[in-house]
Amino acid sequence: MNKFLHTPLTEEDIRALHVGDTVHISGRMFTARDEAHRLMLERRENDEEIPFDPSKMALFHCGPVVKKEDAGWRVLSAGPTTSIRMELFEDRFLTAFGTKMVIGKGGMGDKTLAALRKAGAVYAHYPGGVGALAAQAITRVADVYWLDEKQCGSSISSSSGHSRSPWTAMGRACIAIWRSRSRKTWNESTSRSLRGHDDDR
């Protein structure tokens, strides 16, 4: 069934989802890979400020390819990265920050499954290979944090015809927050984390 959601998400929104639903989500999302998870958890443990509220956004496991322009960042590709890389951190991250939806590729492990169930959150699959399609749904990059971190990516030049244009692969420690139009994600087996089985409502 098609489900249309807009951030911020509530536990009620999440618990209304079923295995196999196609989720169309709009609103604010933030990207975070493994080093960004580690950095945010360390900041929380040290009582340092987190400059945005992760509980009000969906988390996308993504290292977007972006271009810096006068008006800001333009996302060229925003495909999901393999989510199991975040398994070391995700259960603590969900507990610490209250994020209600994690979007990624390939699924996650038992620790994250248990944390999703406890938090009333969900993991949704976004298919690989369609990063350009995801980028088309992004209306604006609102903020970018920790771009100067050591593992945040590097600027590269790519050539197209007679011109050369710089683009950046935002790396593992970088956070990008963007606003998006409705775009499908695929909420598959991991949504069982909410109930154990789909018919146990």
Catalytic (active-site) positions: 37
Q: Are strands 101-104 and 122-125 parallel, antiparallel or unpaired?
A: parallel
Q: 141, 66 in Cβ contact below 8 A? A: yes
In this structure, the chain runs to a length of 201
Q: Could you give the angle at which helices 34-45 and 87-97 cross, rounded to 10 degrees? A: 40
Q: Which of 70, 71, 89 is nearest to 173 (CA)?
A: 89
DSSP letter string over 16-53? T--TTPEEEEEEEEEE--HHHHHHHHHHHHTTPPPSS-
Q: 67, 170 in Cβ contact below 8 A? A: no
